[in-house]
Chains A and B, each alone.
Chain A
């Protein structure tokens, strides 16, 4: 019924003995104590608020068992900033006011983190990239502007800077 696992989140290893049925999102929130990752719909993986980066890909952490991520490298919203310096996607949201209540924001940031590794700049492509996270406040207009702001920042980066800001 239980298994010993170790998941590296934001560079920090978290070891625990967990029930097979424990969801990855509950491991992140309750065992690792990283409550920036949110639970919205909680059932069918529709809302995307729980999106995290697992081995380089954006995934909904409510649709994985924690045991599946044993040995994996992950990043959550807490891993984006470097000290006081915001990640380009966070800076975009700050500059363009890409949020209102903020509940979906961690999911959007992590989904867009993957998108920004190889961004496409049309409105349609940006909107398609964030179609897996539901925001009930903004109507998405400011978020699209935030992404464009982030794309400009990322495109001006040196390869070394890109590796630093996109480690996974």
Chain B
């Protein structure tokens, strides 16, 4: 199986060149990043771009850097780099967890951070992880303008993100969590490395007495995009994250996030997974927060 004929193929070397190409060709063009989602879609002829703009030779899009209270992730950073980066493992644990649970080693060698977010699969690993960390995306437009979008505004629905035809995501920014923060991510899927039936992301910040100051819980594998369990996260504030509280948070999250039935699982099964996984992820997040720098 192979893609429909591609009239034009470009391999630009920098962002300026990409934007110049988008000015000319955006209507029938596709930006090719890691290709681990786009290539299967092209082979199935669900996507038939006349022009392919390959981002793999664009310089300056692969950096991982922390400064001024922000983690900067270039758009072409690969999953394998996110999973293995010491800084990410130390301070953004749930992001490393999410990267590590994507696909398999070959997919993680190619697939890119921003590519996955742009693809916006509601069952993918990064979207809920970036939501839990309140990330934002930097977009560059063909006309030279730029804009910044919060992840919640960027993800619109199943396989739909806010990136315009003539736009390129250049970078993702993640605010550095406060001291005594920790996070965890895990998913349930049918086979290893598959998309999530349900994923749970938890991020917590503790005070010096070990009480929860702040918490975020995001559920992936629901429609039309990952859902925030706002009430469940809210009830954790001021508690010691004891077992009884965590169990109640799981029940609350299962009740407030709407689940659906599809070929992978029933809505009830998804609810049950949320109920049991939320406490486990909160426990792991709290343990990491406890070990983080005071």
Contact = CB atoms under 8 A, between A and B. Distances in A.
A115 B106 CA distance: 11
B32, B39, B80, most chain A CB atoms within 10 A: B39
Contacts of B39: 45, 62-65
Interface stretch (B5-13, B153-161, B197-205, B281-289): B5-13
A19 B2 CA distance: 11
Nearest to B192: A131
Report the contact-size class of chain A (Cβ under 8 Å from the partner): 20 to 34
Contacts of B7: 1, 20
Contact of B104 (A20, A26, A42, A48): A48
A51 B1 contact: no
A59 B104 contact: no
Interface residues of B, number: 30
B179 interface: no
B6 A132 contact: no
Contacts of A19: 5-6
B107 to A, nearest CB: 7
Given A43-B44, A48-B106, A63-B110, A132 B1 contact: no
Nearest to A19: B5
B103 interface: yes
A63, A70, A115, most chain B CB atoms within 10 A: A63
B178 interface: no
A51 B192 CA distance: 18
Main secondary structure of the interface of A (DSSP, over half): mixed
A68 B40 contact: no
Given A45-B39, A68-B54, A60 B6 contact: no
A6 interface: no
A51 B56 CA distance: 19
Interface in A1-36: 1, 3, 19-23, 26
Interface in B15-62: 32, 35-36, 39-40, 43-44, 52, 54, 56
Contacts of A129: 105
Contact of B1 (A42, A59, A114): A42
Contact of B35 (A26, A51, A64, A132): A64
A20 B6 contact: yes
B106 A21 contact: no
A111 interface: yes
Interface of B: 1-9, 11, 32, 35-36, 39-40, 43-44, 52, 54, 56, 80, 103-107, 109-110, 192-193
